[in-house]
């Protein structure tokens, strides 16, 4: 897979304008909060949000009582995330989602939304992320395939195959048919995989 060429620093200023990025619409926000409740543990836990962007999912996780560490390669994205979660139990680090700068720390959940498609080595990133989990931890991966002329993304069957040797249990949820998550109907493939190790 070719590495995506996007200037995320330049994207930061308008990133939250997309309904599923900024979660400003109450219905979209509520839909993502509901999904996170089903994907994250029911008890307060340590969540590593990789490619956290402006921190929209991190904020929902923090509101549900979780301790969040967010990592993003873009300093402007991190600045916005820090402002969005000021006063919450959250820390944001500048770094590469494929190799986050968290040292020896381990987490209960690694949460990643729309990041794998942009990484040059998907399998390597997944193996590394699995190593960041505590026993019984989970990977929560929200991905898809976008566009018709030159599709970008990772198909669900490919991702579940890559996870097969890494996870004890994998659950796939199709998200394309829930317009509340996206601010309207979508035609492309969007899904979440929750993999427990």
Cα–Cα distance between 105 and 140 in angstroms, integer?
Answer: 18
Cα–Cα distance between 27 and 42 in angstroms, integer?
Answer: 22
Q: What residues does 91 pair with on adjacent strands?
A: 69
**Distant-in-sequence, close-in-space partners of 87: CB < 8 Å, separation ≥ 6:** none
Is the separation of the CB atoms in 102 and 133 below 8 Å? no
Cα–Cα distance between 147 and 67 in angstroms, integer?
Answer: 35
Q: Output the six-digit token pair for 46.
A: 């340590």
Tens place of pLDDT per residue across the chain (197 aa): 344 467 888 888 888 788 788 788 999 999 999 999 999 999 999 999 999 999 999 999 999 999 999 999 999 999 999 999 999 999 999 999 999 999 999 999 999 999 998 899 999 999 999 999 999 999 999 999 988 778 899 999 999 999 999 998 999 999 999 999 999 999 999 999 999 99
């Amino acid at each position: 897979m070719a590495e995506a060429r996007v200037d995320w620093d330049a994207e930061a200023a308008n990133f939250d304008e997309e309904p599923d990025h900024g979660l400003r619409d109450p219905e979209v926000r509520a839909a993502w909060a509901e999904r996170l409740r089903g994907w994250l543990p029911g008890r307060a836990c340590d969540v590593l949000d990789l490619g956290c962007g402006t921190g929209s999912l991190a904020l929902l996780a923090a509101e549900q009582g979780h301790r969040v560490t967010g990592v993003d390669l873009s300093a402007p994205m991190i600045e916005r995330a820090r402002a969005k979660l000021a006063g919450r139990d959250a820390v944001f680090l500048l770094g590469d989602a494929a190799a986050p700068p968290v040292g020896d720390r381990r987490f209960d959940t690694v949460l990643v939304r729309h990041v794998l498609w942009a990484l040059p080595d998907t399998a390597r990133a997944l193996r590394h992320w699995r190593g960041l989990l505590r026993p019984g931890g989970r990977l929560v991966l929200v991905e898809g395939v976008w566009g018709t002329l030159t599709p970008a993304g990772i198909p669900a069957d490919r991702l579940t195959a890559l996870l097969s040797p890494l996870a004890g249990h994998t659950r796939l949820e199709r998200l394309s048919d829930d317009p509340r998550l996206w601010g309207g109907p979508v035609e492309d493939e969007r899904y979440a995989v929750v993999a427990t190790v």
